[in-house]
Amino acid sequence: MRLILLGPPGAGKGTQAKILIETYGIPQLSTGDILRAAIAAKTPMGLAAKEIMDRGDLVSDTVVNGIISERLDAEDCKAGFVLDGFPRTIAQAEALEDMLEDKGMTLDAVIEIKADPDVLVERVVKRAKESGGARADDNVEVLRKRLDVYMEQTAPLIAFYREKGLLQSIDGMAPVEEVTTAIRAAIT
Ligand code: B4P
């Protein structure tokens, strides 16, 4: 199973990826998590990414493409993977196509998790409160910027994957378990 989870910030990509990897026994490849780990470890990549992420912009395609290309070579990706938060630009999607072709892999499906902006704001504000502000990008002002960036740079991927016959759209505003059920139905 080789899957992409696509959707605006707070749509539930990370939430659903964590559930799906348990079911299918495959790894979650989250560029957001990998970048946050690099920030926590204060690596040069993390230090450069922090400022960009904190203001709600996207880290450079070159950096994230490198992260994913390296990660896809790991043994645990042989049986499949859930890509969570990657690709986020057309350039990343094209780079992914090249990577997968080089590695003799193909995608099974791209799941678009849809949710209205007011629901996304509500969720992210709730997470910020519950986590004591653990994520610097979880506040209303930065979230609005992340939503604009999503509309400009990531939303074009919906048509990109629809044209390839890979896209399945899911209502991400339902409770977590219902979203999982809908994703499972879409990929089986
Ligand atoms: P990400 O880490 O990918 O984060 P996200 O888009 O905010 O969240 P996600 O959709 O995974 O939401 P979650 O499940 O957590 O990106 C952060 C930043 O990293 C980006 O802005 C960018 O700067 C950088 N980055 C990452 N990848 C990149 C790339 N490829 N290129 C360039 N830059 C990149 O859910 C959010 C909240 O909602 C949680 O609290 C959850 O509990 C709740 N929730 C989820 N589903 C729910 C449901 N059905 N009902 C109720 N609540 C729900």
Looking at residue 115, its pLDDT comes to 97
Model confidence over 19-56: pLDDT tens digits? 999 999 999 999 999 999 999 999 999 999 999 999 99
If you take atom 43 of ligand 1, which residue's CA is the nearest one?
Answer: 123
Task: Please report how many Cα atoms fall inside a 13 Å half-sphere around the Cα of residue 87, on the Cβ side.
Answer: 27
Residue 135 neighbours by CB distance under 10 Å = 15
Q: Where are the alpha helices (DSSP H) in 13-60?
A: 13-24, 31-40, 44-54
User: Token digits for 158?
Assistant: 């919906």
Q: Which residues contact 133 (CB under 8 A, 6 or more apart)?
A: 139
Give the separation between CA 145 and CA 41, rounded to whole angstroms.
Answer: 26
Model confidence over 101-149: pLDDT tens digits? 999 999 999 999 999 999 999 999 999 989 887 888 888 999 999 999 9
Looking at residue 133, its pLDDT comes to 76
SS3 state of residue 177? helix
Q: Domain spans of the chain?
A: 2-187
Looking at residue 24, its pLDDT comes to 93
Model confidence over 83-106: pLDDT tens digits? 999 999 999 999 999 999 999 999
Give the separation between CA 83 and CA 26, rounded to whole angstroms.
Answer: 11
Integer distance in angstroms from the first to the last C-alpha of the chain?
10
Model confidence over 161-174: pLDDT tens digits? 999 999 999 999 99
Q: Which residues line ligand 1 (CB under 6 A)?
A: 7, 9-15, 31-32, 35, 52-53, 56, 58-59, 64, 85-86, 88, 92, 123, 127, 137, 146, 172, 175-176, 179
Looking at residue 132, its pLDDT comes to 83
Looking at residue 136, its pLDDT comes to 85
* 55 in active site: no
- Give, in words, the CATH class of 2-187: alpha beta
Looking at residue 51, its pLDDT comes to 94
Q: What is the ipTM of this complex?
A: 0.86
